[in-house]
Amino acid sequence: MWFHRPFNLNEWLLYSVESTSASSARGFVRGEFYTQDGVLVASTVQEGVMRNHN
């Protein structure tokens, strides 16, 4: 998680999430936090691997 500028946690935030890649049991997700007036205040990324147990 990266914080780009100060913000108030007592106010509403929009968390926009997008799965930019998913194949071969791997996935990558990117997210962004915006204030009510549309200012980008934080970003996230997550990569995951899924295994099928037989």
Phi, psi of 37 (to 5 degrees): -95, 15
Q: Which amino acid is at 46?
A: Q
DSSP assignments along 1-54, one per residue: -EE-S---TTS--EEEEEEEEEETTEEEEEEEEE-TT--EEEEEEEEEE-----
| Distance set, CA 22 to CA 5, 18, 48 (Å) | 30, 11, 9
Per-residue pLDDT for the chain (54 aa), expressed as one digit of tens each? 999 999 999 999 999 999 988 888 889 999 999 999 999 999 999 999 988 777
pLDDT at 30: 97
- pLDDT at site 39: 98
Residue 23, pLDDT score = 83
Residue-level pLDDT at 28: 92
Residue 15 has a pLDDT of 98
